Amino acid sequence: MNATGGSTSPIAYPGGNLSTDTGPVQGITASPRVGSGINYQYPLNLREFWRVGLDALQKYAKDPNGPYKAPFESLSATSQLTLLQDLWDNKPASFNNIRPSDFAYELTFMTWAGFLMDPIYGGNQNMVGWTYTGFNGVNFGNFYGEGKDQKALMVATTPTRLKPASLAQYQQQASGSA
């Protein structure tokens, strides 16, 4: 599978073959990328998908016949990581009728989104994620009076760290209240 896009199997749909008058139809299998394009085809909205996936993940963790035999939150960090890798590798024999790797993708995507999106959505509290990665948010060089100019920053050969600013701060400043 090409991680940056382009499915490595023909576009597909789970549920068997169709045939037409012009000949046999190529077998249809789900492209292993949940997310966008034609690749999300579950008859579940995302809230349901998460409920179903979290339940399946916990069942897999607690399975007395499985490798972990305990609730996910009680596992060691190493074991948690291994379990998540199992999902990416589609190791669980059953997973509430969704593909484990599809849930692994959503989980990983939302974890990073939670770390890096504007705090107005509830994650990245106090811009901890932006401070970590060196992202500026809505500070274009002078939010805190630094006197930097974006026209210079955009062609610089050495980077300049800016203290990040959030959308809420930006809107406060724009409305003259901060």
Partner 1 sequence: MEPAADVVILGVGYMSGVIAAELSIPKFNGDKPYKVVAITKGPYWDYVNDFSTTKYDEWGVGLGRKYDSPLPLQSTTIRNTPYQFALPVRRYTMPIQYHALGHGVGGAAQHYGGTMGRQGPWGYQMLSQTNTRYGPGAIDTINPHNDLQDWPLQYYQYEPYYVQWENAHGLCGNYNGSTDNPGSDSSGYPWMSQNYRLPPHPLTPAAQLFQSTVQSAPFNYHPFPHVNALASQPYVNQYGVPVNPCVYDGYCGGLCDYACETGAKANAAYRTIPAAIKDGNFTLVVNSFIFRLDTDPTSGLVTAARYYDPQGNVHIQPGTVFFNGMWGYNMIRIMLLSGVGAPYVWNSDPTAVSGTVGRGMTNGYSPYRGTNVSGTLSNIGGNAYPAGNAGGGSVDIYDLMDDNFNHKDLGFIGGSQIGVGGYPGGGPGNITFAGGVSSASMGGTFKTSQKDKYLQTKTVLSSTPFAPDLPTTDNYVDLDPHYTDIYGDPLARLTYDWTPNMYVGATYLANKVKDIFTAMGASNVTVSNTVLPGAVHNDWWGHHLRGGCRIGTDPTWSVWNKWNQCWSPTLKTPFNIFGAGEITNTSGDTVPSGTHVAGPQSYRAAEGIKQYLLQGTTHSLLT
Q: In this chain, which of 47, 145, 154, 176 binds partner 1, going by CB under 8 A?
A: 154
Which secondary structure element, helix H or strand E, spans residue 2, and what is its range?
none
Residues 6 or more apart whose Cβ sits within 8 Å of residue 41: 13, 14, 30
Binding mask 44-83 for partner 1 (x = CB under 8 A): -------------------------------------x--
User: Residue-wise over 112-125: b if at least 16 C-beta within 10 A, else e?
Assistant: eeeebbbbeeebbe
Rule CB under 8 A: say whether 147 interacts with partner 1: no
Q: For residue 173, what are the contacts with CB-CB under 8 A and spacing of at least 6?
A: 143
In the complex with partner 1, which residue's Cβ is closer, 8 or 65?
Answer: 8
Interaction between residue 9 and partner 1 (CB under 8 A): yes
Distance CA 132, CA 164 (A): 10
Distance separating the N- and C-terminal Cα atoms of the chain: 49
Closer CB to partner 1, residue 36 or residue 65? 36
CB of residue 64 to partner 1, shortest distance in Å? 26
Question: Which region, judged by CB under 8 A, interacts with partner 1, from 51-59, 60-68, 91-99, 162-170?
Answer: 162-170
**159 near partner 1, judged by CB under 8 A:** yes
- List the one residue out of 29, 48, 43 whose CA is nearest residue 90: 29
Among 48, 51, 55, 134, binds partner 1 (CB under 8 A): 134
